[in-house]
Structure 1
Amino acid sequence: MKIYNILLAEYNPRELFNEEYFKGGRSNYNDYLRDHRFPLVARALTEIFGLEGRLVLDAGCAVPYLVDELRKLGVHAVGFDISDYARRKAVLERLEDFLQADACKTPFRDRSFYMVIASELVEHIPDFLEDTILRELTRLADKYLLIRTPYCHDPEDNDVTHVNIHPWMYWVSRVEEMGFIHDDELYARFAVRGHREFRYFFDEFMVFVRT
């Protein structure tokens, strides 16, 4: 499966998610730029989940544009990514509250964040690290964990690092094993708004609530 055998031999995400990855050739990006829909996503998240004044983590955020838009709305948002390229872009664009870190081992305390957002993260994690990443994400989330990931293989998907793709219910089952439950009502509320205002762009998340 794509570069899966290479990952098994030597998994080095810091090298994988370099400038070449973001600027095309090994991913679906031509570059990772500030999209005009980030403010819409941030407002929907803030209003539906009551995030104003709350501490929120965007895990594996790439360049922290969503973090920046959340902060404009009064959310205490923080983002991290392992990519040197994302770090350089964040510095160049003066985007604050960004940390370079490995999603499998972050420096944060247990249940530090009211919400943890993991958008298009878990599909990049090889299966031998799947349990590690899920335990880390659930460890950090005090109330909500939002996960966005593809649920099936797409023949037009050019991202060579999409190595861990499973159906919806697989991820629901895995996260619910770790003390969370999927909230179908909140999922639907966000998805309806997302499909209307910013379709195909952060337009739906699995919504898990700590039990």
Structure 2
Amino acid sequence: MIKNYFKGKLLRLIRTAMQEDFCAIAAKAESIDQKLQMCLQEQQTLKQCINEQQEQVNRIPSSLDQSMEVALQKIDKQTEHWTWERYRRLEKHVNEIHRHIDFTYRDLMVALERQRTYLPKKNIRLVTDAPLAYESLDYLYPHGTIRDNTRYPRFVTKCEELLGRKENLAFLDLGCSGGGMVLEALLRGHISMGLEGSDSSLKEQRAEWRLLGDRLQTCDITKPFRLETEHGNLQLFNIITAWEVMEHIAESDLHQLFQNIQNHLDEDGYFIASIACWDDIDPKSGINWHVTLHPYVWWKKRFEEAGFMVCTELLQPIDLARGAYNPPHSYKTPSNRFDPKTSFHIVARKV
């Protein structure tokens, strides 16, 4: 009996101890589980921090690229501004040098002419009721007339070849601007005269106006005019030219201009013109100096309707004093290409 009592008590003690151990183990297991969850959370947080740091590191090159791009753009703008400023100053100095050389050259030529006349002279009198092209945009807003001066000896020698003689030819340049092509013909020993609708070059005595005197005169070429010899006879010309002039003439004025050319062109003579087909707009006033813009076929038809025979194939673009390859300023290098749709020439003679 006593033995059974002690045996039962021992079993209860063992059971109680085991329950306490199980509780302690469970508590420890729960504590370990909590710590494990905390470790996992810390690991997740650490991984998130690492990812955020990696993103920041990845953004650094992009940010640097953007900063460098902005810096390079600023440098490009500053360099471009500096370059243009330098170019403008250089262009100004070059123009001043050209102007100085231009005046020196003409001083020498005027002095030589006064000592001994070496340019052919023929008294040609201009008769007109329109001494200036008062309604022309080139008179109201002088542009090419106050800047241009074309020199091109090749054209004169080509005309000599075309006409089959090298002496006693007569040249008339309509819209002559600085008078450079009038001088070219004179230097070859020919009679030469230029007519200009604006008096800007006359007033300034620029380009060849100081040297050539009454070989350069002003009048409105779209109004009736007559060029007479000293005996009152009509002066005829073997070559009449209009370098980039036709597009400046209103369509309504072309009939009279054609009539003036017909009146003064010799029977075996040629009218030669370069024609532009592009807008020439003044940025200040907004006016377009080129008032008649049409392709070659339109001009060809107008010349034929006016009684001319068109024979443009007789001259090549390289032969022309203006248009095509050659610029309006004699000191500029000719271009190595041109667009025949926007710059072309026409050669015509009487039928």
- DSSP-derived class of the 1:181 partner: strand
How far, CA to CA, are the matches of 1:92 and 1:210 in structure 2?
Answer: 31
Moved more, 57-66 or 104-113: 104-113
Q: Do structure 1's residue 52 and structure 2's residue 167 form an aligned pair?
A: yes
How far, CA to CA, are the matches of 1:179 and 1:43 in structure 2?
Answer: 27
CA distances 1:96-147 after superposition (whole Å, capped 9, x unpaired): 3111111022222667211211111121112221222222222221221112
How far, CA to CA, are the matches of 1:206 and 1:45 in structure 2?
Answer: 14
Structure 1, unmatched stretches of 5+, are 1-10
Partner in structure 2 of residue 6 of structure 1: none
Q: Do structure 1's residue 65 and structure 2's residue 194 form an aligned pair?
A: no
CA distances 1:40-82 after superposition (whole Å, capped 9, x unpaired): 4434444444463111110111121110111000121111112
How far, CA to CA, are the matches of 1:123 and 1:178 in structure 2?
Answer: 17
Q: Is the 8 A contact 1:46 1:75 kept in 2?
A: no
Q: Do structure 1's residue 102 and structure 2's residue 195 form an aligned pair?
A: no
Among candidates 179, 190, 200, match of residue 85 of structure 1: 200
- DSSP-derived class of the 2:192 partner: strand
Partner in structure 1 of residue 259 of structure 2: 135
Point out the structure with max Rg over C-alpha: 2
Q: Do structure 1's residue 210 and structure 2's residue 210 form an aligned pair?
A: no
User: Residues 193, 63 of structure 1: CA spacing in aligned structure 2 closer, same or farther, 3 A cutoff?
Assistant: closer
How far, CA to CA, are the matches of 1:208 and 1:107 in structure 2?
Answer: 21
| Matches for 1:90-169 after TM superposition, within 5 Å | 93-96=210-213, 97-104=215-222, 105-108=224-227, 112-142=236-266, 143-150=269-276, 152-154=277-279, 157-158=280-281, 160-169=288-297
Partner in structure 1 of residue 190 of structure 2: 75
Q: How many residues align?
A: 186
Partner in structure 1 of residue 285 of structure 2: none
- DSSP-derived class of the 1:93 partner: helix
Return the letter of the residue paired with 2:171: V
Moved more, 136-145 or 167-176: 136-145
How far, CA to CA, are the matches of 1:31 and 1:192 in structure 2?
Answer: 23
CA distances 1:142-185 after superposition (whole Å, capped 9, x unpaired): 221112111x335xx33522101111011111111222211143
User: Residues 51, 167 of structure 1: CA spacing in aligned structure 2 closer, same or farther, 3 A cutoff?
Assistant: farther
Structure 2, unmatched stretches of 5+, are 1-132, 229-233, 283-287, 329-333, 335-343
User: Residues 205, 61 of structure 1: CA spacing in aligned structure 2 closer, same or farther, 3 A cutoff?
Assistant: same
User: Higher relative contact order at CA 8 Å, sep ≥6: structure 1 or structure 2?
Assistant: 1
How far, CA to CA, are the matches of 2:257 and 2:209 in structure 1?
Answer: 29
How far, CA to CA, are the matches of 2:146 and 2:202 in structure 1?
Answer: 18
Runs of 4+ in structure 1 over 6 Å off: none
Among candidates 310, 330, 340, match of residue 182 of structure 1: 310
Q: Is the 8 A contact 2:318 2:325 kept in 1?
A: no
TM-score scaled to structure 1, two decimals?
0.73
Q: Root-mean-square deviation (CA), in Å? A: 3.1
Pick the structure with more helix per residue. Answer: 2
